[in-house]
A and B are shown apart, each in its own frame.
Chain A
Amino acid sequence: MKSKRVLLWALALGLIWVAPVTAGENVEAAEEYETDSETGLIKAPGFDTVKNNCTVCHSARLVTNRGYTRAVWLEQIRWMQDTQGLWEFAPEVEEEILDYLETYYPPR
């Protein structure tokens, strides 16, 4: 939660002079961070949690070449938990993953 607030502040500050479109926000949010050379994931807060939980079974491409709303990301997680053998997340872990995905991989 804390990380999300920091992010939102950064976003807000960075966005004052940027066209207010979703893609623009994504670019601004991503711009502050490096990309992990192994996975292609943006190394923003939440990166380690996402990498450790999401790339065990499938590659990070299932994140990096897509963009969904928080609701759809959550639906995807529930589908993997219900049918694909994904483990349950502690509430704070799930929150962190969703914050990361929603911020850096929104609909394109």
Chain B
Amino acid sequence: MSEDKNDRSELDHASEEEVRETVGLTEKGAARRRFLGNLGKGGAALAVFGMGTETAMQTLFNRSTLSSAVAAGIEGFHVEGKVDGIIWLNDRPINGELPPHLLHDEVTPFSNMFIRNNGVPPEKAGIDAAAWTVTVRGEAANQEKSYTIAELKEKFEHHTLQLWIECGGNGRAAFSPSPRGNQWDLGAIGCPTWTGVRLRDVLEDVGYDADKAVYIGYKAGDAHLSGRDDLDALSRGCPMRKALEDETIIAWAMNGEDIPEQHGYPLRLVAPGFPGSASGKWLTEILVRDREHDGQGMTGHSYRMPRHPVEPGADVPNEDMVVLEEMPVKSLITYPKTGVEIAAGSTLKVAGKAWDGYGDVEELHVSTDYGVTWQKADLKRPVNKFAWQLWEADLEFPEQGFYQVWAVATNSKGDRQPMVLPGWNPRGYGNNKAHHIDVRVKA
């Protein structure tokens, strides 16, 4: 059970009694409340004492977006314009993913794009996009230089690319023991089009010392959850080799419109192939560093993998962790929805997406017999490098009964998705286990 606990199909199959039992247990019995005055020290704690959570939040942040999210609670929580069926994992910070069948669009629309926030986004209504600037500086930059969005648009060549962004922790929920962090199942991935300028062009315009430059780090306009000004919600980046790639861009538009508030309005980085956290939202600064960037989310266990394989549950010292860079090859079956029923003798068209951190998926195979035999799917070339690739296959089933359809992608290096969970790691990154759906063939 533990290995496959993230499989939606299993959830779908939970008996009604099981569901009732789980829900019912929270309602019965008497509560025994114990009052306690033992709060931790610190101004924030003092501010909370004697107040409801919402009041405390408003006091701490004085941000209307936050208080409204809090007031709504997760039950009634929703981000306007997002599709019904999005799975909200958290409302503070906002985190939501899609079930695979809601990722069937060729180009992911706003409504079906996952949200992974680490802090509190700046409110769109309060942003004067004309006055927004991104400043490039840092140890290896030749100068400090700022650009308005208008200047970026005027000065540099525009590029519109379809680029996927996947959270580094997508698939975390499957690992056991549970690594801490958002328990993402399968759908923290999306592939909209982005319009902007190459980061490389901007870095060259500023000028930097190529011998000294090792990494770029970003600073962003979102607030830390604690409300403290001295902490960044997230300040990650990527090595120069990634920063200088054709597809690493500073974007102002998503799907041809202003980037939505939750996705980085008015300006963001998109560094496809790397964990989504490298694609900083609400971009305000780019640091050209002479060392691996050490901002929020770069150190300790955050977005890092063990240098050597470890056993599940291992306590890995910080010095044995290295930054997670290219995401592993992966695919999803986005059509049909798991649990589909078909008539015996009919053909089932299955379809999905495939992507790889190095840019190209070479082949995709599907199996209806748990990997005994494989059928090659029709896999399209990407519309551009780092766009996800569409695939489809027509399947026939030998007789009535219950089947699972498994899909396995292979990248240009020959790396194939595993059908078992890849190696456990302390924070549960990089789970690219093959996805499957359930199919019932009726007599």
Contacts and interface: CB of A to CB of B under 8 A. Distances in A.
A66 B180 contact: yes
A82 B70 CA distance: 25
A27 B40 contact: no
Given A39-B53, A56-B60, A69-B177, A83 B300 contact: yes
B31 interface: yes
A107 to B, nearest CB: 5
B45 interface: yes
What's the dominant secondary structure at chain A's contact region? loop
B176 interface: yes
B171 to A, nearest CB: 15
Interface residues of B, number: 51
B41 interface: yes
7 contacts: A33-B30, A34-B29, A57-B92, A61-B74, A66-B183, A85-B231, A87-B40
Interface of B: 5, 21, 25-36, 38-42, 44-45, 48-49, 52-53, 56-57, 60, 70, 73-74, 89-93, 176-178, 180, 183, 224-228, 231, 296, 299-301
Contacts of B32: 32-33, 43-45
B421 to A, nearest CB: 16
Report, as a range, how many residues of chain A touch the other chain.
Answer: 35 or more
A65 B183 contact: yes
Nearest to B42: A87
Contacts of B52: 38
A35 B27 contact: yes
Contact of A48 (B35, B40, B74): B35
Contact of B38 (A30, A59, A76, A90): A90
B180 A72 contact: yes
B57 A66 contact: no
* A-B complex: 9 closest residue pairs judged by Cβ atoms: A87-B42, A85-B226, A35-B26, A59-B92, A57-B225, A34-B31, A43-B31, A61-B90, A87-B40
